[in-house]
Each structure stands twice: as C-alpha cells, then as structure tokens.
Chain A
Amino acid sequence: MTRRNHRRAYAGAAGVLAGALALSACSGGTSPEGTTVEEGEPYTLTVWTNYTTGPGQNWFEEVAAQFEAEHENITVEAQHVQNEELDGKLQTALNSGDAPDVFLQRGGGKMKDMAAAGQLLDLTDTAVATPEMREKLGEASYEALSIDGQLLAAPQLIQPGGIWYSKDLFAEAGITELPETVEDLEDAIAKLQGAGITPIALGGKDAWPAAHWYYFFALRECSAETLEATNESLDFSDECYERAAQDVTDLAALEPFNEGFLTTSAQQGASSSAGLLANHKAAMELMGAWQPGVVMNLTPDQEPLDDLGWFPFPQVSSGEGDAAAIMGGQGGFSCSAAAPKELCGEFLALMNSEEHQEGFYEAFGTIPLHDDAKDVVTNEYDEQMLDALAEASYVSDFLDTNYGQQVGTALNQAVVELLTGGTDPAGFVSAVSDAAARS
C-alpha cells in the first residue's frame, strides 16, 4: 500500500482533530466544533504533509508564505513526513490529542474511522467549501470526502488509473489501435507475446497493483449503483463481483505478466514492475496517475520516458458498468478536532486556489483539480485524463480505500491468490465476504 499512497498522497486533504477524542468517541459521531483564533492573535498552524521531495516542499513554502503574509501573527509550521511513516505517526498523534491542525487525508475507510472517533472537523461552512470553490474543484470531489453531509476533508487532487504503455513496443508488435475492449486487449497481448515482448508488468509483491486489475474489472462489470451500495454494505453477493474475478482469472490464463510477478515489487528499482516499463522490458502497466513520475525515476538516465502513453481501462462485453466510469485515488487535507476551524478552512482554500493548483501540477505532475488551473496541462496523457474525467459518468476511489483497511487488505490478498490459481472466482468472493463479516 506504500508507494501508491505516496503518490496518492499528493492529494492531501486537510483534516482536523484534536483533543476531544475521548469525549467525542463516546458521543457517537457528533462533530467537534474546533476552536477560534481572534484576528491578530498569535497562532501557529501546524501542518503535516508527505511532501518529502524538493519541488513539493518549495510549493508548500510558497503557500505558507502567502498565508502568513495575509494573516497577521499567524505562523505556518509544516512537518513533511515520509509517506510510509505518516499514517502511523498521525494515528498516534490523533489518539493522544496532540494532532497537527491540518494533515493529509487519504479518505475512504480510514477517514471514516477518524470521523467516528470524533477526530475531524466538519469543514462544510468554511472558506474551502464555498459554492464557488465547490464549482471549481468539482462537486464529485467534495462528495468523495463527505460523510453524512459533513465535509471532512478539502479535496486537493484526483489521480485516475488506467493503462500506461510504451508506444515503441506497441509499434514493434504491430498494434495500431489502442484497446477499447477486453477482446482488443487480448489481441494486443497476443501480438506482444508473438513479438517476444512481455505484455504486462505487474508488481504482485505489493498486492495492490495486482488488485487494481480486479478493481477495474469490477468497475466495468458492476453498475455504479452496485458499487456505491457495496461501499456501505460490504455485500459482495451481486454476481458482477464474481464475474470480475472470472475476468482476472481469464486474463491470468493468457500469462501476460512478467516472470515472477508474485515477488516483483511495484516501484523499487529497475526490476520492479514500473522499472520494467521504464526500461522497455514490458509493454503495459495498470497504474494511477502518479506513474510518469515513478517511471521517470527508473529510466536509465532518470529522464521522463518519451514514448509513454495512456489509455482508459477497456470495457468488458458483459459489463453493467459504464465504459466512461473512472477509478482513481482521491485525497485532500483534513483539520483536526481542536484546530481553529475558520483559519483552517482559509488555509485549505488558499492551497486549492487556481494559482497554487497550477503550481501543484508543476511540482508534482499530477493533473489539477481546479477548473481554471487546467490550462497549464500540456502533455498528451494528462490531457487524455482530464478529458476522461470530464466525460466520466462515475468516479470511484480505489476499492481497497473505499472498503477500509481490513476488507481492503483481504481483498488485495485474495486477488493475488486468484492470480496464482490459489483460489477460484467463487472462493474469491467468499474470502472477501468472510473478511467483510469479520470487520
């Protein structure tokens, strides 16, 4: 789960929480009110992000400097925590009542748990949730970070997933049209195999890259209503879930993956799945929008991969889901329970302003959420993603995020079993259902 969150994390959300957790945990879901800082009163706003790269920190410094200039006596103090460390550190801080005012929020089940423990401020009435902001950043992004009408984090980014491919290798194998259906994809796989090219890179060791194949098949097989209902009920009895498992099994039967995919990691080193794509050792990888940056670090000269292309996940013939539905990581920043609510909202609004969303694209290379910032996007795949998002009939977060850690982890592991033939589609569904019953 590690690296992906790293990338996803660029989407932070400002959360809140703070002291009153013991009380609020017992009071069952009432939202904390936060605190107030009077105009001119000195205050240090603490912020935790995972921006450990240079450009990311510079971007944040600019936002912070502007905020300090606009607010008298307010200091912004950031801690940029290594991504894999962030969740644990944050959890401890939240539970001990010593949380930062603003922190990166990954959404999904974890956000639900924080909200249930009364650790997050409701940002509905703050500067980051004005009708104008909602329009510019997209209502759907706000909904993704709301529970029961309470806005628990301000959206910052979305990282849609899709298939990344090497244009050179596709040309070498004689593939002229990008696959739109699974049958097309199967043809492409056959052509690549015929040309002696490994069709798909897969980092099975990290489980989630393997699980992505299942998520996207489920996105195509299941209707948006079914997927939404399952997010709440964790009921996997709809047959579309078993069909999606069958799709994964069928795909695996073509043996399209790199040798030893089960013990291949996703993003570490040239032998990782992203490394295989970066070094033209494999033609495709199913990944989120963070992929170009990861691939860039793994090319021999650490330059962006010239022939990297993107296409949306293909449609399955039996699918009830729309071919235009999108899945991707969404995220933002939350404010903790004892944070100054108004100030917090203003900070998040500044972070998500047109100017800083543009800077965000330049610093992180992830497509901007803000409508007016979209004109900074120039490269082809980012434009494709923006188009796909604009036309999307439905946007889902990654399923493991939606289902929460426990079911999400079990789901990811079950997909690995499915890929290695350790279980069949029926066994897969019952394994996930068992985990759901236990959670």
Chain B
Amino acid sequence: MSTPEHVNLDVPAGRTATGDGARQAPSPAPGTNRRRPLPWRRWLEILLLAGPGTAVFVTFVILPVLMAGYYGFFRWSGYGPPTEFVGLRNYQLILTDTAFLEALWHNGFILVMSLVLQGPVAIAIALLLNRRMRGRSLIRVLIFVPYVLSEVIVAIGFSLMLHSAGAVNDVLDRAGLGGLRQDWLADPDVAIWSLMLILVWKYIGFAVILMLAGLQGVPDELREAAAIDGASYWKTQWYITLPLLGPTIRIWAFLSIIGSLQVFDLVYVIWGQYVADTAGTSTMATYMVANGRISGAYGYGSAVAVVIFLISLVVALVYQRYLLRRDTEGALTGGAA
C-alpha cells in the first residue's frame, strides 16, 4: 500500500544523503563501449530480470487487491463461491457504522500524535547523539532496540505490565502513588494513550536512526562557517541543520503516516480479537479482521479492505504530490522550515 519507490531507505547508518538528488545512487553506467544490444535481447533481459518479481507482485499483491474489490460487492460467508451480489451495500454499511468511524478516528489520532510526539523528540535525540560523547554507540543501540523487537513480543510484554493487576500498578502502589493507578488498557479514556506511548517507544528508534542518517548529510563546512560568523549552537541547528534535514523529516513523516493508517499487530495482540472497540483502541485494520474474518463475512471484510486501501492511497498520493515532490525532484535545500 505504501509506495515502494520511496522506501529505499535501507540507508547504512547515515551514508547516503537523504534528499540530495545529486548523490542518489548513480544509475548503472549505460552500456558505453558495447554495441547496442539487439532489441529482442533487451526484451529477454527485461523479462529475465523483472519477470519473476513482477509475476510474484501481480499474483500476491495486484490480484488480491482486485479480488477484494470483486468480493466487496457480495454478501459472502466464505463457503462456496460468492453468489449474493449486493452492489454497494457493504460500502454503505461501512461508512455508516459508528464502529468503523470510531476506528478511523483512532487511526487519525495515532497519525497526528505520532507526528507530534515522535518528530521533535527524535530530532532532539538525533542532535544529541550526533555530538561526540561517551557511550554514544551504546545509547544509539538502546534507542534502536525496541524497533528491532517483534511487535508481538512488545505487545505481550506491555499487556502484562499494563494489565490492571500488572507490574505498573503494582509499582505505583509500592511507591506510595496508588492514587495514580489506572486501568491502563481497559479504560477508554486511558487506553488510547497507552497505545500511543507504546507506539512511540517502539518507533522512536527508527525515527532517530533516520534523522541521524540525515544529519550525516549536513556538510560540516556549513556549520563551521556559521561558527565563524558567530552563530550559537542553537542558531546553527535552527537555521542550518533543520532546513537541511527537511527531506529526511518529510520521508520519515510519510512512513509514519502510512504506518499509522495500518496499525494492527500491537492492538490485535494486546486487546485481542474482540475488546479493542470497547477499550477505544480499534483501528481500521482490527475492524476489518473483526468484522470480516472473525465474523465470517468475507464480502464485508473485503469491502473494508478496499476502503482502507483507498484511504491509504489517497493520503500517500496527496503527500507525495505536495510534500515529497521537491525532494524527489532533487532539490537540496528546497526551503523547508
């Protein structure tokens, strides 16, 4: 659902300058000395190299998307072929179901809060870790560890700790802070914040690594020049580092947004198949599973999948069109900040 061409961020800790068009991996040298290959050989080459990948992509991505679109028009329990055509009824039900709208709202909340909470913190930590200091590598590793852990492990760990008879409340009691006890997972006013904190804890490391990578692309000369001109550390960060970090921030925000729209694993493991609604932490994806597969309503579930797909697609396209365009066009200091 995300756009793969922007996800080539397997940046080896801060090497490739993000957003620096000129520095993006050069395209393979055109077949300079050789004679131009015959067209059929070209085709064979394309077929051989791109064929398997394309076949897998079409079979396991494009085809299922199309089939979901098809099934979405049926009422179908999943046994035998779908026969009961219901037109747009599933879509009508989805868009009028308060449970879905609530789930959508939760996704929106997660999206905004992820940007607001993670962005500034990640930049601050990255700036800190970009300075020479003792234990820097260790801190980098520690911050990145949560991101490496499997979602399921994180979810099980937090669900045990945050359960109302769990470790967190116990610690509060023993510290004489019993008044702060909460039903962290079940109280609808609190649960979404618990989820948010777990998400931040889990994904901040990724944001920090991206920002650190981006910082490596900020030329030292600029900082030196600023220092010579008498700019303070903070002024240097504000007027030089942050603007140059713009492309990285925009890419990170893009990934964060797409991720926020697809939150599933953590919620599914912590709250299970049924109670996310009640606890106020349902997302579009958990709604899809609960009302599609678990309910044995495969037509309806497919329609939900299509809705999620369209929402993600629109968000991704709009974001690319208006925010990422200058980066993908290779503008270096395209006036962020």
Contacts and interface: CB of A to CB of B under 8 A. Distances in A.
Interface of A: 1, 21-22, 24-26, 91, 94-95, 109-110, 113-114, 116-119, 204-207, 258-260, 262-265, 271, 404-406, 409-410, 412-413, 416-417, 420, 422, 438-439
B256 to A, nearest CB: 27
Contact of B270 (A110, A263, A409, A422): A263
Contacts of B297: 405-406, 439
A420 B81 contact: no
Given A25-B80, A263-B164, A263-B186, 20 more contacts: A22-B81, A94-B79, A95-B81, A109-B296, A116-B79, A207-B273, A259-B164, A262-B185, A262-B275, A263-B159, A263-B270, A263-B271, A405-B295, A405-B297, A409-B296, A413-B274, A416-B274, A416-B275, A420-B186, A439-B297
A119 B80 contact: yes
B115 to A, nearest CB: 28
A410 B295 contact: yes
B295 to A, nearest CB: 4
Contacts of B93: 438
A262 B81 contact: no
Contacts of B274: 205-207, 409, 412-413, 416
Query: What DSSP secondary structure best describes chain A's contact surface?
Result: helix
B271 A409 contact: no
Contacts of B290: 409, 413
Nearest to A206: B272
Contacts of A262: 183, 185-186, 275, 278-279
B296 A405 contact: yes
Interface in B269-285: 270-275, 277-279
Given A91-B79, A205-B272, A262-B275, A406 B186 contact: no
Contacts of A271: 160, 163, 165
Contacts of B32: none
Contact of B296 (A94, A110, A204, A412): A110
Given A262-B279, A271-B163, A25 B296 contact: no
5 contacts: A24-B80, A207-B274, A260-B164, A264-B163, A416-B274
Interface in B71-99: 77-81, 83, 93
A260 B186 contact: yes
B90 to A, nearest CB: 10
A156 B295 CA distance: 26
Interface in B155-174: 159-160, 163-166
Interface in B24-41: none
B294 interface: yes
Contact of A116 (B80, B160, B270, B291): B80
A95 B93 CA distance: 27
A21 B80 contact: yes
A413 B291 CA distance: 11
Given A271-B165, A409-B290, A25 B83 contact: yes
B183 A91 contact: no
A116 B75 CA distance: 14
Given A95-B79, A205-B271, A260 B163 contact: yes
B299 to A, nearest CB: 11
A260 B185 contact: yes
Contacts of A205: 271-272, 274-275
A113 B296 contact: yes
B297 to A, nearest CB: 5
A409 B300 CA distance: 14
Given A263-B270, A406-B296, A410-B295, A113 B275 contact: no
A109 B80 CA distance: 14
B185 A263 contact: yes
Given A259-B164, A262-B278, A95 B80 contact: yes
Contacts of B295: 405-406, 409-410
Contacts of A109: 296
B167 to A, nearest CB: 11
Given A113-B296, A271-B163, A207 B275 contact: yes
Interface string B112-136: 0000000000000000000000000
B271 A258 contact: no
- Residue from the set B79, B272, B274, B278 with the largest chain A CB neighbour count within 10 Å: B79
Interface centre among A206, A258, A263, A265 (most CB of B within 10 A): A263
A118 B77 CA distance: 13
A405 B294 contact: yes
Given A405-B296, A409-B295, A265 B272 contact: yes
Contacts of A204: 275
Nearest to B191: A263
B277 A263 contact: no
A21 B183 CA distance: 50
A333 B159 CA distance: 37
Contacts of B270: 263
Contacts of A259: 164-165
A273 B296 CA distance: 27
B182 to A, nearest CB: 11
A263 B163 contact: yes
A25 B279 CA distance: 40
List of 10 A-B pairs having minimum Cβ-Cβ separation, nearest first:
A117-B80, A405-B296, A260-B164, A207-B274, A25-B80, A262-B186, A117-B79, A205-B272, A113-B79, A113-B77
A207 B294 CA distance: 12
Interface centre among A25, A94, A119, A260 (most CB of B within 10 A): A260
Nearest to B83: A25
Contacts of B278: 262, 413, 416-417, 420, 422
A24 to B, nearest CB: 8
B307 to A, nearest CB: 16
Contacts of A420: 186, 278
Contacts of B164: 259-260, 263
A114 B185 CA distance: 38
Contact of A118 (B80, B160, B279): B80
